[in-house]
Amino acid sequence: MPLVRRVKAAAVLTAVLTVLTTVCALPAAADPTVDECVSGSRTVSRYIVLFDRGTPTVEAQTEITAACGVTTVYYPEIAVAVATSADTRFDDRIGLDRAFSAQRATSRKRKSEETNSSVRRATTVPAADRSDEQWDMAMINADAAHEVTTGSRNIVVGVLDSGIDATHPDLKEAVDPALSAGCLTGRPDTTPAAWAPKNSPHGTHVAGTIAAADDGKGITGVAPGVRLASVRVVDDDGRIYPEYAMCGFMWAAEKRMTVTNSSYFVDPWLFTCTKGGQRVVREALTRAVAYATAQRVVNVAAATNENVDMANPPDSSCRVLPAGLRDVLAVSSVGVDRLKAGYSAYGLGVIDVTAPGGERLRDNGDPDRGCVLSTVPGGYARYCGTSMAAPHVSGVLALLASTHPGASPSTLTRLLNNQSQTVPCPADYDLNGTGTQDAYCAGYAPYNGFYGHGLVDALAAVSR
C-alpha cells in the first residue's frame, strides 16, 4: 500500500480544501482550531513525515496542513518533510507508519559524548607546538603523508556535530562559512549563530583532528589543506534528533561536500528498528544518506561507545544510525596499543575500518595521555571515543579525494579499505584480567569485526 493515500477526484479535493479553511479538516466541535493546532498553550512538537517518492511539494504541504501541522521544510528529492504541530493526534491523522516525533518519544537522558563541557573562547590560544603529543597522527602516518600533500582546498569535509569554533587559530582558515549551517529545526539555517557551538566543544575537537592547520603551532590535522563546513546537528541538550541528522545530510548533498563526518548516533534509541516510529526514522535517514551518496558524498560515522556487537542487535532488523546504514563507513576505535578500545562498538559486516580514538591509560599518572589531543574553543583538550576515531578516517578520505580528483564515493571507499593496515583479531581480549573475554572478534586477519579492513593509513592514501 502506498504511504500516501492520494485524493484523485477533483470534487473530493475541492471538498477537502474547503474544510481546511474552517476547522482544519476536523468535524468534531471539540477538535482544535487551526491556530490551536500550531500554537497556543500546548507544547509544539516536531515530526518527520514520509511521503511517496515523487510527491509534489504542494501536495505534501496540503496533507500536513489538513492534519493540523505546519511544514518546516519538505525535501522533494527524498519525499520527506519536517513539520510541527501542537496537536498530539497529528501523527495519528498522518499515519503512525508515516509520522514520528523523536521529541515526544525521548524518555532516556543521554548526551553526545563530551557535550556537557562548557564552551569557552580565549582571546589568546597557547601557541606552543604540541604535535609531538599526537600519537594518533604518528599511528596513521599523517606526518609522512604531509610531505606529499596536506590536501586540496577543493575538498570539503562536512562536520555534522555540535558546531565548530571558527575563531580558533588552528581552524579559522579551514572553516568555510558559506558552506556551514545549523540544522536544529530540520531546515538549514546559514546564520553564523546557527552553526557555531553553544555549550559543547565536541565538534571543534572533531574538526581539529580532520584539518587543524600545519603551522608549527598547537596541533596538526590529518588533512590541514582541506576546507571544513560546520553543520550543527547537536542541540543544547546534547541530543541528535533524526530531523537534525537528515537536514545535515541533505545540506551536505546540496553543497556537494566531499565527505561528511558523523560522530554520534541518532536519538532516541541506540538501535533503531523497523516497527512504528522507528521505521519512520530509519526510512528517512536511509533516504537522506542514499541521496547524499548519489551526490558523490562519502559518509563516515562513529561506531558508538557502547561496546556492543552491532552485527548482533536485539532484533535482526535493528541498526545503529547512521553508522549501521548501507551507505555509511562505520569506524571502530583503537588505543595507543592498537587494540580495540574497551568502549568501542564492533561487528562483523558492520565495521569498515578502524582508527585511533584513544583509551585512558591504566597504571599511569596521566591516564588522559592515552586520549586524542585536538582543538577545543580556547585551546586544546584530550578526549577518548569513537567520535575521535571517525575524523581520522574522514581526514584520510579527504587526502584520498585530493590525490584522486573526481573519484566516486565507491572508488574512494575501495581505496581506503585496500590501503588500510591489516589488524588481526587479538588472541586474548580480557582487558581487566578477570579471565573473561570482554568481546568476541569474529572474522580473520584481512577483515574482522573489531577492525574491519584495518587501520587507516594516510601515507598510503597519498602514495598509491
Predicted model pTM = 0.90
- Tens digits of per-residue pLDDT, 190-199? 999 999 999 9
What residue ranges do the domains of the chain occupy? Answer: 10-105, 131-463
| End-to-end CA, the chain | 50
Per-residue model confidence (pLDDT) at position 26: 38
CB 256, CB 157: distance < 8 Å: no
Side-chain-side CA neighbours of residue 392 (13 Å): 35
Pairing status of strand 372-376 against strand 351-356: unpaired
For residue 397, which of 414, 385, 380 has the smallest C-alpha distance? 414
Fold of 131-463: Rossmann fold (3.40.50)
- pLDDT over 70 (residue 115): no
Higher pLDDT, 404 or 17: 404
- pLDDT over 60 (residue 70): yes
Per-position b or e across 7-20, b if 16+ CB within 10 A of its CB: beeeeeeeeeeeee
- Tens digits of per-residue pLDDT, 48-67? 999 999 999 999 999 999 99
Instruction: Please state, in angstroms and rounded to a whole number, the distance separating the CA atoms of residues 96 and 102.
Output: 13
Per-residue model confidence (pLDDT) at position 136: 99
- Tens digits of per-residue pLDDT, 329-356? 999 999 999 999 999 999 999 999 999 9
Catalytic-residue membership of 420: no
Active-site annotation holder among 146, 202, 392, 453: 202
Could you count the other beta carbons within 10 Å of the beta carbon of residue 6?
10
Fold of 10-105: Alpha-Beta Plaits (3.30.70)
- pLDDT over 50 (residue 38): yes
- Tens digits of per-residue pLDDT, 229-245? 999 999 999 999 999 99
Partner residues linked to 455 by β-bridges = 354, 421
- pLDDT over 50 (residue 410): yes
- Tens digits of per-residue pLDDT, 354-373? 999 999 877 666 778 899 99
Catalytic-residue membership of 387: yes
For residue 212, which of 267, 256, 146 has the smallest C-alpha distance? 146
- pLDDT over 90 (residue 127): no
- Average pLDDT, integer, range 63-88: 98
Higher pLDDT, 202 or 4: 202
- Tens digits of per-residue pLDDT, 296-307? 999 999 999 999
DSSP 2-20: -SS-----HHHHHHHHHHH
Active-site annotation holder among 91, 161, 214, 457: 161
- Average pLDDT, integer, range 89-116: 76
- Domains 10-105 and 131-463 equal at CATH topology level: no
DSSP, collapsed to helix, strand or coil, labels residue 341 as: coil
For residue 463, which of 222, 148, 214 has the smallest C-alpha distance? 148
Catalytic-residue membership of 161: yes
Pairing status of strand 70-75 against strand 45-50: unpaired
CA dihedral 243, 101, 99, 112 (to 10 degrees): 40
Beta strands in 312-418 (DSSP E): 328-334, 351-356, 372-376, 379-383
Could you count the other beta carbons within 10 Å of the beta carbon of residue 32?
19
- pLDDT over 60 (residue 451): yes
Distances (CA, A) of 292 to 37, 249, 353: 33, 6, 21
Q: In this structure, is the dihedral angle defined by the CA atoms of residues 31, 32, 38 and 42, taken in order, positive or negative?
A: negative
- Tens digits of per-residue pLDDT, 237-269? 999 999 999 999 999 999 999 999 999 999 999
Side-chain-side CA neighbours of residue 130 (13 Å): 22
Q: Which helix (H) or strand (E) holds 243?
A: helix 242-254
CA dihedral 301, 321, 86, 196 (to 10 degrees): -10
Cα-only R_g, the chain:
23
Instruction: Please state, in angstroms and rounded to a whole number, the distance separating the CA atoms of residues 54 and 269.
Output: 29
- Model confidence at 10, pLDDT cuts 50, 70, 90, reads very low
DSSP, collapsed to helix, strand or coil, labels residue 71 as: strand
CB 111, CB 239: distance < 8 Å: yes
Instruction: Please state, in angstroms and rounded to a whole number, the distance separating the CA atoms of residues 89 and 342.
Output: 44
Active-site annotation holder among 263, 387, 402, 420: 387
For residue 303, which of 355, 362, 267 has the smallest C-alpha distance? 355
- pLDDT over 70 (residue 112): no
- Average pLDDT, integer, range 389-405: 98
